[in-house]
Amino acid sequence: MTPPASLPPRRLVLLLGGLAMFGPFSIDTVFPAFPAMGAQLGADRLAMQQTISVYLLAYALTSVVHGPLSDAIGRRKVILGGLAVFTVASVGCALARDLSTLLAWRAVQGLSAGVGLIVGRAVIRDLLHGDDAQRLMSQVSMVFGIAPAIAPVIGGWILGWSAWPAIFWFLVAFSLVLLLATWFGLPETHPRQARLPLQPRPLLRDYVAIFLNPRFQRLAAAGAFNFGALFLYIASAPAFVMDLLRLNERQFAWFFVPMIGGMMLGAFISGKIAGRIGGARQVALGFACCGAAATLNVGYNLLVPAPSVPWAVLPPMLNSFGIALVFPVLTLAILDMYPRQRGSASSLQAFTGLVSNAVVAGVLSPLLSRHGLHLALGAAAFTLAGWSFWRWETRYSRQVPAGQAQAAALEPTERL
């Protein structure tokens, strides 16, 4: 299937990339405003951190809902509904005059922010197959990768000429633009005859069946652990940049720009080589880059007691490049396992990643971020774990007969 005529491929990339961006935008654009918000709302730094915590908690809880809902009522309705809720929630944040009100509306933002990323992946697989799907997902990843780099800059620019509520009014405008673009430009990609009834008991049964599928577990774990190597550094960015590299709060670009650059370059290469080399070979190449990054990182921190730029940020850059090669292939493999339940599979994959990231941010980062070598070893352990699960999957796929492998990939509703 090719993209509908009403939405040319380039416009589809921009729209799906924008839908994936509005979630990260709602986090990163607010970071520069924390001091001003805390001063006006009478909240200390720890209290302001709750505006991120409640957002991420709501995001994680509803990540398991967006996909199945889109399987039942269609992708377009879920995306439009999520954008509408997010717009209202952003208005509420802009008008908030106390911390409790702000926290409540931030939670509502989190409830709706996942529709763009989660349902957008299902849309890609609805429209395209094989190499074309990989190219589109890689192109969307390039657009999405811009968000963490430019969002804090935009937030700082807005604070330069206005007060902090203007950041949320910017999010209102951004989500309205996406809502109008989706309304007029994105057709429904999940036809009625392919939809599943929205019933709690079958939905829970299918979720359990997907989660217990060994192949899903191997692919999801490979992706989550592989990204965990990079997310450990992202979660530890304040300590890594200011304490270990001895830079100031205006020099975070030394870390984020190379990291985002590596990810965008990897996504670009992934799109270019789609169809020219096999998916398994591309994943192997990506993990080789991640392994080289881990080796260089550990070696550098062993030899250099005081890490500094630019050498300390080059291994995370190479790591992000490798991750961008691995991610599209693993994600498409998961979606291809459940042709009628791509939304559910996408939701469960996202939830797996969110839980892993929460453990990294809440437990491992505080333990490891005081020393560069500890961070490097932790990241290397994540890379090794991700590669091990991928290796397990490749060995299993070679050993299992074709008929059994096909049966293992059947949708839960077909097997139960």
pLDDT higher than 50, residue 41: yes
Mean pLDDT of the chain: 83
414 contact partners, CB below 8 Å, separation of at least 6: none
pLDDT higher than 50, residue 402: no
Q: How many CA atoms lie within 13 A of 261 on its CB side?
A: 12
> Which pLDDT value is given to residue 191?
83
Q: Do you know the residue count of the chain?
A: 416
CA distance 243 to 257: 19
The token pair at 179 is 């809502």
Q: Please choose, from the candidates 324, 264, 265, 330, the residue with its C-alpha nearest in 3D space to the C-alpha of residue 290.
A: 324
* Cβ 152 vs Cβ 252: under 8 Å: yes
Q: Please choose, from the candidates 306, 225, 324, the residue with its C-alpha nearest in 3D space to the C-alpha of residue 268.
A: 324
CA distance 167 to 30: 7
- Core vs surface per residue 261-297: b (16+ CB within 10 A) or e: ebbbbbbbbbbebbeeeebeebbbbbbebbbebbebb
Higher pLDDT, 220 or 354: 220
Across 28-49, average pLDDT: 77
**Predicted confidence (pLDDT) per residue in 67-101, tens digit:** 788 888 888 999 999 999 999 999 999 999 999 99
Across 352-362, average pLDDT: 79
pLDDT bin (cut points 50, 70, 90) of residue 45 is low
The token pair at 63 is 């990540």
> Which pLDDT value is given to residue 355?
81
Share of the chain above pLDDT 70, in %: 91
**Predicted confidence (pLDDT) per residue in 133-186, tens digit:** 777 777 777 777 677 667 777 887 888 888 899 999 999 999 999 999 999 888
CA distance 228 to 235: 10
> Which pLDDT value is given to residue 215?
92
Q: Please choose, from the candidates 140, 188, 175, the residue with its C-alpha nearest in 3D space to the C-alpha of residue 20.
A: 140
CA distance 287 to 226: 8
> Which pLDDT value is given to residue 360?
84
**Predicted confidence (pLDDT) per residue in 198-216, tens digit:** 777 777 787 788 888 999 9
> Which pLDDT value is given to residue 118?
79
> Which pLDDT value is given to residue 379?
97
Rounded alpha-carbon distances, angstroms, from residue 214 to 280, 333, 334:
18, 13, 12
CA distance 383 to 351: 20
Higher pLDDT, 34 or 259: 259
Q: Omega before 202 cis (within 30°)?
A: no
Q: Is 277 helix (H, G, I), strand (E, B) or coil?
A: strand
> Which pLDDT value is given to residue 412?
44
Domains of the chain: 1-197 (1.20.1250.20), 199-416 (1.20.1250.20)
